[in-house]
Structures are given as C-alpha cells and as structure tokens.
Structure 1
Amino acid sequence: MTDKQKVIVALTSASETCTAALSALSSRNQRDKSEPQTSDLSVILKDLDSLLSLIYNSSTKLALALKPSSPTYSASLPVIVDLTKYTSGIAHCIHILNPELHGTTLIKEVQHEVTVILEALRAIVQTFLNLAARGPSIARSGSAGEEYLVRTGTLHDLITQARGPNGIPKDNISAICRRWKQDRGALEDGLREVSEMIDGAEGNESDDVDDDDDDDGWGELGLADSGAKMDKDELARAKNVHSVLRLTTLLHKRIFLDLLSFTPTPPPPSVALDALLLQSHALLAASDELVSSLYAPQNPATIRKESLALLGIVNALQMQLRIFFPDTASIEQQLSALSIEGDKSASTPSKPTADKKWFDLCFDQVTKTSANLVSPMYKPPPGAGQKPR
C-alpha cells in the first residue's frame, strides 16, 4: 500500500470518527447515568481546552503536509492519527459531564461550541480526502487550494472563539448568566416595541386628517400601509401592558444583578439554577406573545389569555426564587442574630432580607398592574387612551 493510499484510509477513519463523535454529542443525554463520573469540572474543561489547542496545531500541520500543489503523504500520516485521537478525546470529555453535578446549561453551551468545531474539522478532512482521490491535476487547481485554506481558517477561528472569554463557560452559573443576558436584551426589545406602538398611536390622534396624503407615494404602487390604528380603548390596553412589561423586565434585570451575579455560598444546586433559566425563557416567550397581541385591531380575549399566561410564568418565577431566600433561617443564623448586650445593630436586616422585600414588592406590583388585563369584566376608564395634555 502506497503512502497516498494509507493517507486515504487514515482520512476516511478520521472523518468517520468525527461523525461518530457528533452523533455521540447529540445523543449524550441518553447515556447510562450509572457509570462512574468525574466530578471535578475544572479538570474536564482543562482537558477539553488542551485537546482544542492540539487540534488547532494539528490542523495547521495537516494543511502544510497535504498542500494540494505538493502533498507530503508520509508526513501527514501521524498528524491524521493524532487528529483522530484528539477527536475521540473531546467526545469523551463531553460524555463524562453530568447535568446534576455540572449543570445542563453548561453542557448545552459546551455541546454547541464543540459541535461546530467537529463539523469544521470533518469538512477539512473531507476536503483533503477528495483532493487525494481526484488526482494531481485537480488537486493543483486554484479552487482546490483556496477551499482547504478557507476551511482551515474557519476551524482556527472557531477554536479561538471557543477558548476565549466568550466561548466555553467556566461553570454552569456563567453559562446561565450568558443566556440570562440574552433574554434580558430580547425583553427590553419587546418593551421598546410597545413604547413605539403607544407613541405612534398617540401621534396618530392628531395626524388622522393627513393620513391620506402622507403615504410617500406608496399608495400609488398599491403598497400603502394598511395597518389598523389603535382606538382609545386599545391604546389604554397597550399602556397597561407596557406597565406590566416594564415591571417584569426590571424584575428580570434585578434577578441577574442581585442574585445570579452574587450567588450565595454554597451556591444553589445546578438543577435549581437550570430550572430558573427555563423560567426566563418562558417569560420571554410569554412577553413576545403578549406584545404581538397588541397590534390593532386588538382582540381583548387574546390579550387577556396572553396576560394570564405571563402572570402564570411570573408566579412560577417567584417560586423558583425561593432557592435564594430560604423561608427559615438556620440555627447558626438565628444564634448569630442574637446579641447578649442588646446591640441594636443585631436587628438590622441583612442584604438578602432587604433584597427579598424588594422582590416581594415587585411581584405584588406585577399582580396588581395585571389585574385589569386579566379581568374579564375590565373596561378602560373614560379618557384612559387619550393623549395627555
């Protein structure tokens, strides 16, 4: 067997290993939980980082050894073997991550980062496999040379990103904070959308007379804006929803700043934190549905249904926050709060107690502000939708 034939066999094996690793990543949740697990997350992530670095370096060596214009097949063989070994090692690192010990959110982030890297690696391997099989004339073409360089650069960029500060998180709480901030940005976008609805509706109250002449010529093309305008009752509902969303967006922000960014010692279990993130996603989805229901012509029954759904998520979120605010203090905390000399400072509320009061008040305000929206008998008060003078 010639060196070229050996390389084709090795590349085929490397490609199959990438495919098997990707399949294992997508089905890792179905693995046997009874098998021994490594609990030290820092060790697992350090090994993963080292493997990514080795793949980065080996892919560079492979690109140099199998340069289409002058491939050196004998030099590429050990590099391909190493890449195959590193790919299997990465799959093993992901496999030993445990949702209960290390967190579901972290595992999902790692899976995402590693999946795109292995897909890029497989694409490079397949490129060189195709080049080896096509023959020297095609391999020396300009398009072939450009393809392997582009794919190698893509792999390098993905690995650099995964190993950087915005890549693979260092732990589950970091992964949760990242997703939480993404949800917060989307919630703020929804709140801004409702504000623009209100501003547009209030402006239309004084501009209705000129609507027919203010289409910038789109009407002549049959593309005039056919969106219905809010009446006074619809505007009142929109303002009510805006008040609710302003409170829930503020609540979401304060959970991140006051609770997730400064978790207690010891921190809440990963399972509880993962469940809290699910409530964040649910809050965002419910908010989006409520915002969508505000476009005129409104259906009051739909707005009521979406408001009830949002309120249900808020209530569930309040239940989830109990992991940060235990109902009863421990014996040690109670004893430490006592003062033999009657020091008045002993009765001063601690920061967690003060935070709990704020959150309780915020949840109460959300419930009160939502009352009009969820009541089937609600009708906006006279003049509620009028533009303030």
Structure 2
Amino acid sequence: MTDKEKGKLSHMLAADSSNPSESSSTTPALSVLHKDLLSLLTLIYAATTKLTLSLRAEQPAYRASLGPLQDLIGNVSAIATCATLFKTHGLTLASDVRQVVREICSALSALGNTLLEEGEDYLVHTGMVHDLVDKAKRDLPADNRAAVKKRWAADRGMLEDSVQDVTSMIEDNDEADEEDEFDEELDDLGLGSTKKMSEVEMERTKKVQPLLRFTTLLHKRVQLDILAKPPPERTSNPVLDSLPSHSHAILVALEDTIATLYAPQDPSAIASALAPLASAVEGLRSALTPILPSAPDIAGVATEGAPAELKGAQKDIRKWFVTCFDQIDKLSCSLRDSLAQESSV
C-alpha cells in the first residue's frame, strides 16, 4: 500500500468513531429505534467481514476495500446518531446502547489500526467486532424497564452470594479451628480472616443475619413484583432510572456490613456499617413508595422464601413492602442500639 492510500484509509477509518453527537429534536418511537439499531448492527457485521476479506494479508485488494469501507463508515455514523436518540426513552436503556456503540467503535478502531499496519492478527480483531455485534443483538434490552431489570438482577446475584457467605461463616465456625497458611494472604487482600469466631462473635453474627436476609429478600421482591411486569402508567422513566443506583447502594452497604463480621469483630465497626445500609434501604423506600400498587395485587406476587413476619402481607404488594421496610428499620435500630451498648462497656 502506498503512503497516499494508507493516509486515505486511515482518515476514513477514523471518521465518526468518536462519541455520538447530539440527537435531533424529533425522536422516533422506541420500536423504530430498536429495529434501526439491530439493522445497523447487521450491516456493520457484514461490512466488517467484507473489509477484512478484501484487505487480507495474503493478497490485499485496496480498491475493492473502498466500497465496504465507505459502507462501514456510513453505518458507524448512523448507529452513533441512533444511539443518541434513545435518551428520551429512558436513561438506563440509553446508557446501555451508548456503551455497546462505544465498544463496537473501539473494536473497529483496533481492527483499522491492524489493517493499516498490515498486522497478522486482523482476524482476531474481526472476530471481536463480530462477537460484540452478536452479543448486542442478543442481550440489548427491549425497553428501559428491561434495562433497569437487567442491572437489578446482576446486583441480586451478588447480594445472594454475599449473604450465603455469612451462612457459610456460621456453619464453618462449628468446625475445628485449623491453621491455614493462607490466612495472612487473605488479610492482606482484604478478603477477611478465616479465624474462628468466639461465642460472643457468633451470637452477634446470628443477630445481624436476619437483617441481611430481609434486605436480600426485599431486593428480590423488587425484581419479581415491580420490575417483572409492565409498570403502572404513573411509573415514569426517571423513577425507573433511579432504581439501579439504589440497588448498588444497598449492595455496597451490605457487603461492607458483612466485611465487619469476620473475626476478630469490632462492635463499633459493625454499627458504623449498619448506618449506610439502613440509609440505602430508606432511599429505596422513598423511590418505591410512589409506584407501589394502591390495591391488593395477588397475581404475580412472589411468596417463596418469605419470613414468618411477612406471611400476612403476601397478597398485598404494597402492604408487603411497607411491612418489610418497617421490619428492616426496626432490626437496624435494635442492632445499632445493642452494638452501641457493647462498645460503651
């Protein structure tokens, strides 16, 4: 390839690979945008394949590459514009779409650099573009509620794993205390100590466990009873968009609380960790209260795994959430008072 051809190819590859521009004042319907996005992803996949074949290292055909290259540039420009139009249909969905477009543009840029340098791993970069396109077509949420639900579900898995760690901590503590050569390394990594808890620490952990269990169940019920069905008309996208941040706040606070339960325990540290957890749950209460059903809604209510304290509210979603929030607040206050008394002794 001559220097002139390389310069032209480099300029074309660099075009429109930056962040998407501002959207126009008229925004198409979500179904139209979603269809256009999928179509553009298909076109990018095909153009990338044609470009790679025409510029294969064994026998590059530079003139033949101009057609698919121009198609690719046009499609990248179009998909970047398309991504900016999703924001009026929900910020969570729009964020997911922009992230996909950024990743594809980044992969195309890497492919372009490899082709310009006539590198040997151009097929690897082509495969990366193909994989990203396939993943986007398979996993992109259909609407903003689905995007929020997807993020909520990811946090839910980590919450349940964290609470299971506490259960394992209690069960493992009943076993003989054995020397572990990795104890010091775990402490250095901030993963907690494997030292056996004393009887007092064990009882303290068992008192905190119900709060963690209630909080995890609350998180699960939001996914099953609020996000798993079409939201009421009064549920605006801003309300839905606020939920992932509340989910993340609960996850971080719960993990910080669990970290304080490893031996040796400090009652004051546990109490300090419980305050952000209570605050995070209260923030979720404020966000959910306006969108909870005002009348009993039996259909779709998740009844599995509910503690005895909540059995009476199973058929009324609003009552269930109010009862659960109150129970968590009651447990949080009781635990913090108890831990404060221990610290003052």
TM score, norm. by length of structure 1: 0.76
Distance 1:47 1:279, change over 3 A: same
Q: Which residue of 1 aligns with 2:106?
A: 119
1:232 alignment partner AA: E
| CA distance in 1: counterparts of 2:134 and 2:76, whole angstroms | 17
Residue 92 of structure 2 is aligned to residue 110 of structure 1: no
* Cα shift at 1:38: 0.6
Q: In the TM superposition, what is the alpha-carbon distance from 1:278 to its structure 2 partner?
A: 1.1
Instruction: State whether structure 2 residue 116 is matched by structure 1 residue 129.
Output: yes
Conserved in 2, the CA contact under 8 Å of 1:128 and 1:148?
yes
Tell me how far apart the structure 2 counterparts of residues 326 and 356 of structure 1 sit (CA, whole Å): 6
Picking from 59, 62, 73, the partner of 1:70 is 59
**Amino acid corresponding to residue 239 of structure 1 in structure 2:** K
Match of 1:148 among 113, 117, 122: 122
Q: How many angstroms does 1:190 deviate by?
A: 0.8
Shift of 1:159: 0.7
Counterparts of 1:350 and 1:273, CA distance in 2: 20
Paired residues of 1:10 and 1:80 also in contact (CA < 8 A)? no
Q: CA deviation at 1:227?
A: 4.4
Q: Distance in 2 between matches of 1:154 and 1:200?
A: 43
Would the alpha carbon gap of residues 181 and 267 (structure 1) be closer, same or farther in structure 2, given more than 3 Å must change?
A: farther
**Unmatched 5+ stretches in structure 2:** 188-192, 300-314
2:163 to 191, 211, 219: 191
Q: Deviations over 1:132-172 (max 9, x none)?
A: xxxxxxxxxxxx44x111111121111111111x2x21111
Structure 2 distance, partners of 1:245, 1:111, is 35
Tell me, yes or no, if structure 1 residue 371 matches structure 2 residue 343: no
Q: Aligned partners of 1:47, 1:7: CA distance in 2, in Å?
A: 33
1:373–1:67 Cα change, 3 Å: same
Give the secondary structure class of the aligned counterpart of 1:97: helix
How far off is 1:63 after superposition? 1.4
Q: How many residues align?
A: 321
Paired position in structure 2 for 1:297 = 264
The residue that corresponds to 1:139 in the other structure is none
Provide the residue aligned with 1:44 in structure 2: 33
**What's the TM-score once normalised by structure 2's chain length?**
0.85
* Consecutive unaligned residues in structure 1, runs of 5 or more: 132-143, 330-348, 381-389
| SS, match of residue 291 in structure 1 | helix
- 1:370 is displaced (CA, Å) by 2.1
1:6 Cα deviation (Å)? 5.8
CA distance in 2, matches of 1:37, 1:303: 52
1:225-263 CA distance string (max 9 Å, x none): 974432222212211221101001111111111111113
The amino acid across from 2:47 in the alignment is: S
Question: Which residue of structure 2 lines up, in the alignment, with residue 263 of structure 1?
Answer: 230
Query: Aligned residue for 1:158?
Result: 132
Work out whether residues 7 and 76 of structure 1, in 8 Å CA contact, stay in contact via their aligned partners in 2. no
- Distance in 2 of aligned mates of 1:94 and 1:227: 48
- Secondary structure of the corresponding residue to residue 273 of structure 1: helix
What are the within-5 Å matches in structure 2 for residues 271-290 of structure 1? 271-290=238-257
Alpha-carbon RMSD across the aligned residues, in angstroms, is 2.7
Bigger Rg, which one: 1
After TM superposition, list the pairs within 5 Å mapping 1:1-389 onto structure 2. Answer: 7-19=5-17, 21=18, 24-25=19-20, 36-98=25-87, 101-131=88-118, 144-145=119-120, 147-164=121-138, 166=139, 168-203=140-175, 207=176, 211=177, 214-215=178-179, 218=181, 227-266=194-233, 268-325=235-292, 349-351=296-298, 354-375=316-337, 377-379=340-342
